[in-house]
Amino acid sequence: MNSTSVSTTHNATTDGTPGGAAAETAADERRRTVRAVLDTALAEGRTALTGPEGKAVADAYSIPTPAEGLAECADEAVALADRIGFPVAMKIVSPQILHKTDAGGVRIGLNSAAEVRSAFSAIVTNARAYDPEARILGVQIQQMVPAGTEVLVGTVTDPTFGKIVAFGLGGVLVEVLKDVTFRLAPTTRDDALSMLDGIRAADVLRGVRGSAGVDRDALAELVVTVSRLAADFPEIVEVDLNPVFASESGVMAADVRILLTDEQPAARRRYGREEILASMRRLMRPRSVTVIGASNEQGKIGNSVMRNLIDGGFPGEIHPVNPKADDILGRKAYKSVMDVPGEPDVAVFAIPAKFVAAALEEVGRKGIPNAVLIPSGFAETGEHELQAEIVAIAEEYGVRLLGPNIYGYYSTWQDLCATFCTPYDVKGGVALTSQSGGIGMAILGFARTTGTGVSAIVGLGNKSDLDEDDLLTWFGEDPHTECIAMHLEDLKDGRAFVAAARETVPKKPVVVLKAGRTAAGAKAAGSHTGALAGDDAVYDDVLRQAGVIRAPGLNEMLEYARALPVLPTPQGDNVVIITGAGGSGVLLSDAVVDNGLRLMEIPPDLDRAFRAFIPPFGAAGNPVDITGGEPPATYEATIRLGLEDPRVHALVLGYWHTIVTPPMVFAELTARVVAEFRERGVTKPVVASLAGDVEVEEACQYLFERGVVAYPYTTEKPVAALGAKYAWARAAGLL
Amino acid sequence: MNSTSVSTTHNATTDGTPGGAAAETAADERRRTVRAVLDTALAEGRTALTGPEGKAVADAYSIPTPAEGLAECADEAVALADRIGFPVAMKIVSPQILHKTDAGGVRIGLNSAAEVRSAFSAIVTNARAYDPEARILGVQIQQMVPAGTEVLVGTVTDPTFGKIVAFGLGGVLVEVLKDVTFRLAPTTRDDALSMLDGIRAADVLRGVRGSAGVDRDALAELVVTVSRLAADFPEIVEVDLNPVFASESGVMAADVRILLTDEQPAARRRYGREEILASMRRLMRPRSVTVIGASNEQGKIGNSVMRNLIDGGFPGEIHPVNPKADDILGRKAYKSVMDVPGEPDVAVFAIPAKFVAAALEEVGRKGIPNAVLIPSGFAETGEHELQAEIVAIAEEYGVRLLGPNIYGYYSTWQDLCATFCTPYDVKGGVALTSQSGGIGMAILGFARTTGTGVSAIVGLGNKSDLDEDDLLTWFGEDPHTECIAMHLEDLKDGRAFVAAARETVPKKPVVVLKAGRTAAGAKAAGSHTGALAGDDAVYDDVLRQAGVIRAPGLNEMLEYARALPVLPTPQGDNVVIITGAGGSGVLLSDAVVDNGLRLMEIPPDLDRAFRAFIPPFGAAGNPVDITGGEPPATYEATIRLGLEDPRVHALVLGYWHTIVTPPMVFAELTARVVAEFRERGVTKPVVASLAGDVEVEEACQYLFERGVVAYPYTTEKPVAALGAKYAWARAAGLL
């Protein structure tokens, strides 16, 4: 009897994870079982498992599938059905009979031994009549799949993030709606449960119209198990359980499909955390910088970099390298980097691409740990080999590369401007990075016009070596940096980024603008840096899982970066709107909901307290509408109340420009009251929308500089900034 | 036999609309039939129709429902089944038997006369056994509903828009996803078809996974019919066909539920189009304005209004009214409006609420057509009776009221500033209105700081009389106005607004910021002006149906208002991105998709033409990436190419600040080339995103003033403005 053995152990829906050696052994054993199946398939040159192989893998990992077995006679059929439990389905098994139903070879819902016996005989008779030549191997006896909600559980291998587990509802409608959510594999039980809530149709799983919901624990367990299976075996590129029937009594996968690969991912040199911090420390806090290709000629990059280093006030050593000059901008020039005195921390390259490799070799021999490669002409122009060559040299010597194809970088607290742009000197808490030089210029202009306090601006360009995870690792430790904002088009190593983000997010917010969100955008990314833009749905879910705040656009990234270091962290969910303009109150309420915030239900005593300050026709509740004709005292009294009451966690102010309370009067009183409370240790985020004539612009700048995030002519931006702060506080586990 | 007659005419899925008297008679007859059913129900004090009444209404309107009839004997059952067509379902009919299945009183899927005959006898026998006392009226014979996709078709009565028809998929999942779309009832066939495409799950109706789609014509016809039914009878407040089974062979409503009301909507005085234009013309182009409550005292509203009228340079007559002064700001003052010489066009009220009624009476007697009511203290503070009183006086005299509770209004081309704010003198093409005073101040400040050209700014406040549809009617005709932007929290008469919008949109774009989108926002609207905020899903669909561009937030409304009059109308869908920064190209591509625009597939000859101007490593295709180090000539050549080629319809430029091409050089060349082509009659919308240091701000202002919509530090805004222009062009039927 060449049958797959009937297993009934599959019904266990929990992994049963007892600690210690026993569990170790069980895990080892299941891996050995699957390993054997995979090796056989790959040895036979197959990358898709057969049905029985899929079933064997599922059984090994306790993935519930219908129990089944092959019966060669009616007695075996009855015995199998007895072991499986009624009702069962029965299907003819014959290599010649592909359309089993047409052949009268299928019976379902058989409830007794007698029915099974009679069905066996009928099926075999029908099959013989249908095709007298067919070789009949027997009749498959299969457990009936219990009714339930159709879901899909699967894994894919993403070029950026590797093994990803997917969950969604199954069926035609959901395929159309693409209502699926993703996490890195393996995933935890909590993450798996969050996936059940992460689809738009989540309520279906909880039960609607009085129907029972599904067994959430069993379903989450299945997601964890499948993610573990994919993670355990690099060669499993795809697992597809679709449909899985989920009901209040458990889950069962009706179909198991597993795809393999025999390709190995390329290795790259990896640096440990301490190595990263050591070289990054010297990059961001150098004592000595050398400029390869420094020049006296205006308009040359090597001239701009030299001037910016000098004009920016960098207090360390600056050593120009130029074989044809004795001095550059009054500094002694060296023929070769080998001649530069001391131990430079950074070599800035301002020479054409074709000369980079040779100079980099010297930088390596000199023991300089960081090469900042401004020149373009590498992978972004199709010169992949040239880029591979410099990467190989860098790996050989352990030199870290920034770029190539970048504008350079700023480290403001060191007064370091190693760029061909212009110096920037407003020191502050935000570190900004960009993959694109154009976006870097926008960062600089925005920062300058808004007076944003910056700790660093770094161009990443082609990311031949140093990338976002290295920078995250450093900025996470850098005491000057309170917030990190990154523009990126791809991630070279999504898992390393997630790991660095998870390390950093509990300490400080990380804002990401992921360009190439849309299909058109992704196509443009492909032609820009040769980056393979991942599927945005995967990026979105995985970045959220990593606790990153995703900015919807460039302007939002810049505004969040400006606002987040200014705002204190909220201590709870209760947001109160205090507004002098009812119309602003309505729009601010819209914005509160849009940004996932919660308008506080004002308790009666607090409502009475607010009412004491506002006209009888003003509206308490939330928004607190103090009405438009009120004097400064009304704004002040109500703001005080909001800051004073410990049940209120954040304030959104709506100011209306009137003769009675002019913009700067409002700004001064608000800044004063907020400062007074902060001195008393009451730190609540306060944001403001100022509706009025142009004087509100000055008032907003005044407020921003004093820790109140304020914007003119918009009700959305201040609330979006508050929303970003809340999103971070939640991701950091502070709420 | 007290049976509902069996109808087989219901199977007609088209209305069969022959023209002329016959159709008239058929329509009359169906109305008479339904009228009789409704009258009976209302006379009996019922507001829900019974099943048979619903069926009778459905039959009258040719709404396909299962055919059915009552059989008192087996012969009748067979005859009915023959007429209905097999298969049929059969159900016991007895007032005493509520649980038909428990009584063995239900059989389904009966396929022959013999089965029906045998089922009749079995059902009656079972019922007698179940309850010997039951009075058995017979057995209902019902057509089996064919399988298909479950959809719902219904109507509701919206407080703002009246009768609304709804369409969506039926079933549990869609209820969770709220995937439903709305239109005004009655709707046209085209609108009904657009509803089928307007749900997220639209592909299900078209057929997925190889399955056939539904009969779209039949489904659209059903939507039209149901919308017509609701529109024909004011007393029908709700129709609910749920589920309707739609398949490739037709549609059938399995359940019909109709709810009635006996309430009559309140009447309000309505003005005809010519009446509206006549009074609006005098309001917006007055020769004589009188200010009731004019004052010499600084800080008083009556003083601000007088000063603004004078300082704003209003060239017409200005007559202050103040019983206690001889002159106000050098103008002769009158004790009463009755004493004012000539025929004032506008009376601006700057007196407390309690004095308004008496003064309005005089304004009416004097024959002044417009009263601008600045004072607050009416409905917004709960003084509904006071507001009703002034509305009654206004209606009596035919005086149109603007307000109360407003800042006033500007008519810039008349140099008219009838507000307590400050004059605004940048004449231009955009008319801005706001329901809220605070938002009005934000409009003023934004306009001033950006130099937005304005034709009017109008406060609507409580909208006791004049509202958005009056203003739309006027601005639609006003030759100075090229674009209308409106902030609103509610609409007093949604149908009048839609009618006015439909009249206006083909001539000029209408942008709407609807505040109170979200549940929290709607609640705040309720407490602000006593407005009943409608369901946002209805607003969204109906505003789109009216061709209105909906701004997601205040800042977008202001930016669209600023940009739309500047941008020429595109002549086709082909958008081309030309960028000096590849990184901007990616973000601009994202924005193009986000805003519903289409990146042109560049034909090979055009691609070659672009490649001739850009470096070999630059990327042609779309975006055209000219790369960052290029001189002004490359920008100019590629922009020329985009403007020259008639297959290109709109340009999105991505500028990257470099030494080679500084911001103002880019701005000047772009403005010059665009102007040159416009002189040659080539008008294509051009928008630009400038990434660079602060000099890009001046460059953007320069470009904006010359017809290129340009923004710094954002890739989203310029494309959003272009998207708004496209949305209008589509709504206006220009694409």
Domain assignments of chain A as residue spans, ordered by start = 67-143, 149-260, 268-405, 424-562, 574-731
pLDDT above 70 for A443: yes
Indicate whether B411 pLDDT > 50: yes
Q: A with B: how many residue pairs have Cβ under 8 Å apart?
A: 313
Interface test with A, best of B298, B300, B587 (most A CBs within 10 A): B587
What is the rounded average pLDDT of the residues A38-46? Answer: 93
Tell me, yes or no, if B526 comes closer than 8 A to chain A by beta carbon: no
Contact of A521 with chain B, judged by CB distance below 8 Å, is answered with yes
The pLDDT tens digits for A143-166 are: 988 888 889 999 988 888 989 999
Q: In 3D, which of B498, B465, B523, B490 has the Cα closest to residue B185?
A: B498
Under a CB-based contact definition with an 8 Å cutoff, are residues A361 and A390 in contact? no
Res A612 pLDDT > 80? yes
* Contact at CB, A439 and B583, closer than 8 angstroms: yes
Shortest CA distance from B170: residue in chain A: A173
CA distance A77 to A61: 26
Quick one: tokens of B725?
A: 């222009």
Model pLDDT for residues A382-424, shown as the tens digit of each residue: 899 999 999 999 999 999 999 999 999 999 999 999 999 889 9
B574-731 has the same fold as B268-405: yes
Under 8 Å between Cβ of A663 and A657:
yes
Q: Give the torsion sign (CA, B401, B402, B407, B409).
A: negative
**If you average pLDDT over residues A337-362, what whole number do you get?**
97
List CB contacts (< 8 A) between A625 and chain B.
Answer: 524, 527-528
The first and second tokens of residue A301, run together, are: 């990059």
- Average pLDDT score over residue span B514-518: 85
Q: What is the pLDDT, as a whole number, of residue A20?
A: 58
Q: According to CATH, what is the number of the domain A67-143? A: 3.30.1490.20
Q: Is the pLDDT confidence value at A36 over 90?
A: yes
Contact with chain A for residue B459, Cβ under 8 A: no
Average pLDDT in the B363-386 region? 95
Collect all residues of chain B within an 8 Å Cβ-Cβ radius of residue A444. Answer: 692-693
B667 touching A (Cβ < 8 Å): no
- Which candidate from A175, A593, A619 shows the least CB-CB separation from B519? A593
| A523 has a pLDDT exceeding 70 | no
CA angle B143/B145/B148 to nearest 5° reads: 160
- CATH label, A574-731, candidates 3.90.79.10, 3.40.640.10, 3.40.50.261, 3.40.50.300: 3.40.50.261
Amino acid letter for position A376: S
DSSP string over B157-212: EETTTEEEEEEEE-SHHHHHHT-EEEEESS--HHHHHHHHHHSTTHHHHH-STT--
**Whether B697 contacts chain A with CB within 8 A:** yes
Q: Please answer whether residues B115 and B135 qualify as being in contact, where contact means their C-beta atoms are separated by less than 8 angstroms.
A: no
- Determine the pLDDT at residue A470: 96
Which residues of B, range 707-726, sit inside 8 Å of A by Cβ?
712-717
CA dihedral of B104, B108, B110, B116, whole degrees rounded to 10: 30
Contact B541, B565 (CB under 8 A): no
As its CATH architecture, domain A424-562 has 3-Layer(aba) Sandwich (3.40)
- Distance, in Å, from the CA atom of A206 to the CA atom of A214, rounded to the nearest integer, reads 6
Return the SS3 of A720.
helix
A380 CB neighbours in chain B (<8 A) are 582, 617
C-alpha gyration radius of chain B: 32
What pLDDT does residue B524 have?
Answer: 52
Closest CA to B488 of B439, B454, B441, B524: B439
CATH topology of domain A149-260: D-amino Acid Aminotransferase; Chain A, domain 1 (3.30.470)
The per-residue pLDDT for B528 is 33
Give the model's confidence band at A299: pLDDT under 50 very low, under 70 low, under 90 confident, else very high.
Answer: confident
In three-state secondary structure terms, A154 is: strand
Comparing CA positions, the residue from B152, B205, B248, B196 lying closest to residue A173 is B205
pLDDT of B190-245, one tens digit each?
999 999 999 988 998 998 766 789 999 999 999 999 999 999 999 998 998 988 99
**For position B523, what pLDDT does the model report?**
53
Residues of A whose CB is below 8 A from B581 = 436-439, 441
Question: A268-405 has which CATH code?
Answer: 3.40.50.720
Q: How confident is the model at residue B521 (pLDDT cuts 50, 70, 90)?
A: low
What value does the mean pLDDT take over residues A532-550? 81
The chain B residue lying nearest A689, using CA atoms, is B442
d(CA B281, CA B278): 5
Suggest the residue from B405, B410, B586 to mutate for an interface test with chain A (most A CBs closer than 10 A): B586
Q: Which residue of B has its CA nearest to A175?
A: B208
Quick one: pLDDT at residue B185? Answer: 94
Q: According to DSSP H, which parts of B314-457 are helical?
A: 353-366, 384-397, 437-450
pLDDT for B639-665, tens place per residue? 999 999 999 999 999 999 988 999 999
Report whether A301 contacts A293 (CB < 8 A): yes
Contact A290, A346 (CB under 8 A): yes
Give the mean pLDDT of chain B.
91
Mutate to test the interface with A, among B384, B489, B590 (most CBs of A within 10 A): B590
Read off the pLDDT of residues A317-341 as tens digits, 9 standing for 90 and up. Answer: 999 999 999 999 999 999 999 999 9
What is the model's pLDDT at position B141? 94
Shortest Cα–Cα distance, A597 to chain B (Å): 11
**Band of pLDDT at residue B22, cut at 50, 70 and 90:** low
User: Considering only alpha carbons, which residue of chain B is nearest residue A518?
Assistant: B590
**Mean pLDDT along residues A685-708:** 97
Per-residue model confidence (pLDDT) at position B269? 79
Is residue A486 within 8 Å of residue A470, measured between CB atoms? no
User: What was the pLDDT predicted at B270?
Assistant: 84
pLDDT, tens digit, 9 for 90 and up, residues B164-191: 999 998 877 767 788 889 999 999 999 9
Query: pLDDT (tens digit, 9 = 90+) per residue, B463-510?
Result: 999 999 999 999 999 999 999 999 999 899 999 999 999 999 999 999
Provide the b/e sequence for A328-346 (b: ≥16 CB within 10 Å).
Answer: bbebebbeebeebeeebbb
Are the Cβ atoms of A594 and B172 closer than 8 angstroms? no
- Is the confidence at residue B583, as pLDDT, over 50? yes
Quote ipTM for the complex.
Answer: 0.89
- As a whole-number percent, the residues of chain B with pLDDT over 70 amount to 94
Average pLDDT for A222-245: 93
pLDDT for the residue numbered A1: 36
Q: Is residue B266 scored above 80 in pLDDT?
A: no
From chain A residues 187-226, the ones with a CB under 8 A of any chain B CB are 200-204, 208-209, 211
Chain B: residue nearest A579 by CA?
B438
The answer to whether B594 faces chain A, any CB pair under 8 Å, is yes
B392: closest CA of chain A, how far (Å): 23
Predicted structure pTM score: 0.89
CA distance B734 to B728: 9
